[in-house]
Amino acid sequence: MNQEPEKNFQNKLLLFSKETHADKRHKIELELWNAYGAERVVFVLDMAGFSLLTRKYGIIHYLSMVRRMQLIAAPILETYGGTLVKFEADNCFATFADTLAAIHAAIAMQLAFNASNLLTSDDFDVHISCGIDRGKILLVGNEDCFGDAVNRACKLGEDVAAAGEILVTQDALRTAPAPLDFELREVNVSISGLNIPAYSVEYQKM
C-alpha cells in the first residue's frame, strides 16, 4: 500500500491549520483540491443490527458476519466498475464514475445477500442498507474520501435507509440516463437541518 498520498494529504492539512494568512490558506486549499479533488458517485453500505446482534451473540459472531459482507460486496463492486475505498467496521465505502452503475451494484448486493441468507441460520443473516450521492470529493489515494457527497451518502446509508433499502439523492439521479430500468419512491431526508431530495430504489418490483 502506497502511503505517500495519505502522508502528503495530512501534511498539507497541518500546514493549512497552522497558516495565519487567508490568501496562503486559500492557496493550500486549491492545491489540495487540484491534487485530490475528483467528481465521483459515492456509495456507502451499512450492515443492519450491529448493537443488537453484538449484545445478543458477541463481537466475534458479528465480525464473522462483517467478513462475509466484505467477501460478497467486493467482487460485485468490481463487476459494476466501482472502486473500493475502504471497509470500515461494518461499512463499505466505494466510488463510481457512473450513477447507474452504482445503483445496479447496490441492487446486485441486496439480491446477493438475500440469496446468501437462504444458506445461513437467521442469526447469521446479513442485511444491508445503501446510500448513494454524487459530487466533488477529496479522494486520497483510493484509500479514503471526504466531502459533502461522502457525508450525505453516509447519512442515507447509515442513518436513514432501512435494512434492504437503497437511497439515492436527486443530485446523483440527474446524471443517470433515462429511461431508468427500476422504479423510484420519493423520500423526505433532512441532513443537518437541510432537506435533501432523495429517492428509494424499488428494485423488488423489477
| C-alpha span between 21 and 155 (Å, rounded) | 34
Q: What is the pLDDT of residue 164?
A: 97
Instruction: Return the pLDDT at 141.
Output: 84
pLDDT lower than 50: segments of the chain: none
Q: Which three cell numbers stand for residue 152?
A: 450525505
Delineate the domains of the chain, giving CATH numbers in brackets: 37-205 (3.30.70.1230)
**CB-based contacts of 16: which residues, under 8 Å, 6+ apart?**
25, 28, 29, 32
User: What per-residue confidence (pLDDT) applies to 1?
Assistant: 53
